[in-house]
Amino acid sequence: MRVQVYVCRSGSAADTQAIADIVRLYLDMHALESGKPPEIPVAANILNQMCYGNKNNLMAGMICAGYDERNGGVVYSIPLGGGIFREAYTIGGSGSGFIYGYCDANFKKGMSKQEAQEFVKNAVSLAMWRDGSSGGVIRTVTISKDGVEREMVQGDSLPKLHAKWCP
């Protein structure tokens, strides 16, 4: 039984990958023992314990999101050094400092799936435009009660919101 929890990682790639692998192992064991998938807050709490318990040795910021029957769709932020914050949305990583204003101005509770996907693509595209460490493609995962939908936007197809300000 595979747990449908997704994590966005920022910081040290080695640290965040190791944490994600360990948490996956814990969640798989939990699912085997209980006979059902763990709820998303369980995954977020395990991530937080790993990050906080090793805060002096890791460079790891995580976003944990998923959908479960009890909690619905939920998003948690686990910043560098640990801490756990349930949010309507959250951002992280080196490019996030450039897009807080955009996100605050454009996020709306109750967005449609399409509106939410466009919001994320626009935000990540703006972060990438300002931050050389934010990558060259956008990979999204839309998680709902109906399942998981993955999408990748290639670099030449990224939204060009920055063209409004810098043609």
Domain boundary among 90, 111, 139: 90
Domain boundary among 45, 65, 90: 90
Looking at the fold, whether 72 and 44 belong to one and the same domain comes out as yes
Instruction: Report phi then psi at 54, rounded to 5.
Output: -125, 25
Looking at the fold, whether 15 and 63 belong to one and the same domain comes out as yes
- In this predicted structure, the answer to whether residue 22 has a pLDDT above a threshold of 70 is yes
Looking at the fold, whether 27 and 68 belong to one and the same domain comes out as yes
Domain boundary among 90, 117, 132: 90
pLDDT for 144-162, tens place per residue?
888 899 999 987 787 777 6
pTM for the full predicted model: 0.88
Enumerate residues 6+ apart whose C-beta is below 8 A from 3. 24, 27, 28, 31, 37, 38, 43
- Say which CATH number the domain at 22 has: 3.60.20.10
Domain limits for position 151: 94-167
pLDDT for 36-71, tens place per residue?
999 999 999 999 999 999 999 999 999 999 999 899
Looking at the fold, whether 51 and 121 belong to one and the same domain comes out as no
